[in-house]
Amino acid sequence: MALYTWSGYTENGKASSGMMDADSIREAKLKLRSQGMFVSAIEEETRGIAHPLKDITLRGILGRVRMEDLTVMTRQLSTLVGASIPLVDALSALYEQTDSPAMKKTIAQVRDSVNEGLAFAEALAQHKRVFPELYINMVRAGEVSGALDVVLLRLAEFMEGQHRLKSRIGSAMLYPIFLLGISLLVLLYLLTAVVPKVVGMFESMNQVLPLPTRILIAVSQFLASTWWMLAIALVAGIIILLRWKKTERGARRFDRFTMNLPVFGSIYRKVSVARFARTLGTLLASGVPIIESLRIVKTVLQNKIMESAVDDSIAAVMDGSSISSPLKKSGVFPPILIHMISVGERSGSLEEMLMKAAESYEGDVETTISGLTSLLEPLMIVIMGVIVGFVVLSILMPMLEMSTIVR
Rg (CA), the chain: 30
- CATH top-level class for 264-365? mainly alpha
| Residues β-bridged to residue 6 | 18, 42
Determine how many CB atoms are found less than 10 A away from the CB of residue 81. Answer: 22
- Give the list of residues 6+ apart from residue 86 with CB closer than 8 angstroms, or none: none
The domain segmentation of the chain, as residue ranges, is 1-46, 264-365
309-330 per-residue burial string, b: 16 or more CB within 10 A, e: under 16: bbebbbebbeeeeebbbbbbeb
- Hey, how many other C-beta atoms are within 10 angstroms of the C-beta on 377? 13
Distance of CA 285 to the CA centre of its chain: 24
At 57 the pLDDT is 43
* HEC letters along 34-55: HCCEEEEEEEECCCCCCCCCCC
Distance CA 2, CA 195 (A): 63
Residue 20: strand, helix, or coil = strand
**Residue 54: what pLDDT?**
40
Listed residue (18, 10, 17) closest to 35, CA to CA = 10
Q: Per-residue pLDDT tens for 242-264?
A: 899 888 889 889 988 988 888 88
Q: 154: part of which helix (H) or strand (E)?
A: helix 148-189
Per residue in 180-232, pLDDT (tens digit) is 888 888 888 877 777 777 766 666 666 677 888 888 888 888 877 887 888 89
CA atoms within 13 Å, Cβ hemisphere of 323: 25
Query: What's at 326, amino acid-wise?
Result: P
Residue 68: count other Cβ atoms within 10 Å of its Cβ. 13
Q: Return the pLDDT at 51.
A: 41
Helix axes 195-203, 211-246, angle to 10 degrees: 140
Which residues of the chain fall below pLDDT 70? 1-3, 18, 20-22, 45-63, 199-207, 402-407
Cα 98 from Cα 76, distance rounded (Å): 10
For residues 198-219, one letter each, b for 16 or more C-beta atoms within 10 angstroms of the residue's C-beta and e for the rest, the string is bbeebeeeeeebbebbeebbee
Own/partner pairs, 364-368, CB within 8 angstroms, 24+ separation: 364/270, 365/165, 365/169, 365/267, 365/270, 365/271, 365/274, 366/165, 366/168, 366/169, 366/172, 368/266, 368/267, 368/270
| Nearest alpha-carbon partner for 350 in 392, 383, 394, 317 | 317
* pLDDT value of position 46: 53
Task: Identify the pLDDT of residue 402.
Answer: 65
3-state helix, strand, coil in the chain (%, to 5): 75, 5, 20
Q: Angle CA(216)–CA(221)–CA(226) in degrees, nearest 5?
A: 130
